[in-house]
Amino acid sequence: MMTTTFMDFDPEEHRRSMAKLLEQGGGTKGYIGHVTLGPAIVEARPAGTRTVEVPSLCPPVGVDAGAGGSTEGWGIRSSPHEMGSYEAEVLLDKIHRYHLDALAAMGKESVGRHARGMVFAGYAYGMLDDPVSNIVANALWYDLMFPPRSCEEVKMLSAKAIFRMACRSRDALIAFMRHYAPLLGTQDVLRCLLHAHGNLQQAVRLLHKCGIGLGSQIDAFRAAIKAVDLPNETVRGAHLSFVASYGSAQALLLSNCSLFHPSVLRCLGQNLPSDLHEHHIIARSVGELEGTSTSSPLNLSRVAYRALRLKMHSFRMKEELSLAIVHKALQKLALQLGEPYELHMICGKNCVILPPESYYHINFLASPKGCSNPPTLFFAEVRGALEDVNDVTLCCPVTEKKGRCFVCDCNGVKLFHPVDEKFNGIEDPIADHPLVTDPTSEFGAPLNEDYIFFEINLHPEIATFLEVNYSYMNEDQVDLSFMWFENRLP
């Protein structure tokens, strides 16, 4: 192992050091503003200088990860189905857009409050006749069943978090269909789901119309729930009771209709019932789960807790930077369209480094101030300098069709880029670059959103992950790992 001298973190000294390194190695002011080897220390450390052994990037041999400590089960695993087809990618793109539409469907005041439910349970399966409504209903269900102990509202979800939701939704829909129509192969299921535009209930009607032999709907929903990695058997069982009942989902949406745009209720039909008696199903499930907890340690160790704090602080720093970027983009929008716009939710950001310049690509939902219509999804490209509105090189709405950005693809960041506009990072049409990576490979560990909404009794697997990956370090090494490895450990 290497050794290095570790001192109390001084942001200004850090910036000067990075400026010197970048002057020697090439770079721009915008790039300096983006590069951060770690968040500011979140609590006081002893003064003075000390030599710290640089930790390895993985636990040493002999550290037992345990059942929940491996990265298996995080984000997107290798699918049990063969889905490397064109149909699978088209379906994923469609479902990806549904998840963005679900964020747009939530009201401006409620979207940040229910982002937690979106991240952990907002998936596109259910009895409602609309994928967006199923996503919203499942997210609301999670937050009702497991209300957060602390109010962690966010203004941003990363592109990877939203894309992970979409991938899990796709896997859940396929799992449902394979169990509900066991005679169909994966490609037949994909074609059926595509023909139904990713709408599960429409796909089921197509199966009935074709006279295909069907299995148990309850078992199919059980398979779908298993595919999305809800945290434990108690949660999965409660969710099965909810998701298999049209009345429960209907009652939940109707009783919370003030939280989202009226378009979410269209799937419930024109004659909306005033009797919400089905809501007792949800209330009963909540009562049954009171006092229920999962088997998990009561507390994190000091080093695991420190890593958690740093990861949470890292999310807030990225959120603050993203808000600054969107502020410039909104100023540009006001100049372009002649009216002020307000932010609804940030939906992902990436830094596009094309020496000697750097840019931010960002998606966000916004609407004119005072407008009651759902917000529009925008794409903006902003120079890394972030000095004034002239650094916004492009700001425009994006449609369901996605343009391609070579740099974002390489970074595994699935943003929606415009099709008919020019921006930095468009892939050279002459060469099909072999370096484009599969973004699913980036989801081998919890995302920062998982840490922001982490509760130890609900998510013991995150606690185990933190303990396994940091327990062999001391607190100085945890700090150093975040600065040295740019927050990428693990």
Residue 301 lies in a domain: no
Which of 5-14, 128-137, 408-417, 480-489 comes out lowest in average pLDDT? 5-14
Whether residues 153 and 192 share a domain: the answer is: yes
Q: What is the CATH number of the domain that holds 316?
A: 3.10.450.10
221 and 262, same domain (yes or no): yes
pLDDT exceeds cutoff 90 at 193? yes
435 and 378 in a common domain? yes
Q: Residue 115: pLDDT above 90?
A: yes
Kindly state whether residue 258 falls inside one of the protein's structural domains: yes
Q: Which pLDDT belongs to residue 427?
A: 63
Q: Is the pLDDT of residue 388 over 60?
A: yes
Question: How big, in percent rounded to 5, are the helix, strand and coil portions of the chain?
Answer: 50, 10, 40
Domain assignment present for residue 358? The answer is yes
Q: Are residues 65 and 90 in the same domain?
A: no
| pLDDT tens-place string over residues 143-184 | 999 888 777 789 999 999 999 999 999 999 999 999 999 999
Instruction: Specify if 351 maps to a domain.
Output: yes
120 shares its domain with 238: yes
Shared domain for 329 and 422, answered yes or no, is yes
Q: For position 1, what pLDDT does the model report?
A: 37
Residues 253 and 319 in one domain: no
Torsion from C-alpha of 39, 43, 48, 49, nearest 10 degrees = -40
DSSP classification of residue 123: -
**Core vs surface per residue 186-199: b (16+ CB within 10 A) or e:** beebbbbbbebebb
Other residues' Cβ atoms within 10 Å of the Cβ of residue 82: 11
Give yes or no: residues 344 and 392 share one domain: yes
**Mean pLDDT, rounded, for 212-221:** 89
Confirm whether 489 is domain-assigned: no
In a shared domain, residues 101 and 211: yes
Quick check: is 76 in a domain?
A: no
Q: Give the pLDDT score at 47.
A: 52
pLDDT tens figures, 56-89:
555 655 555 443 444 444 444 445 445 567 899 9
Q: What are the helix (H) ranges across 217-337? A: 217-227, 233-243, 246-255, 279-289, 302-337
DSSP three-state, residue 106: strand
State whether 104 and 227 are in the same domain.
yes
* Same domain, yes or no: 252 and 138: yes
| Among the listed residues 88, 169, 97, 102, the one whose alpha carbon sits nearest the alpha carbon of residue 416 | 97
- Domain housing 315: 310-442
Cβ atoms of 221 and 240 within 8 Å: the answer is: yes
Note whether residue 460 is domain-resident.
no
* Total domains present in the chain: 3
| Domain finish residue from 225, 257, 288 | 288
Out of 288, 321, 336, pick the residue that ends a domain: 288
In a domain, 455, yes or no: no
Query: Do 160 and 243 belong to one domain?
Result: yes
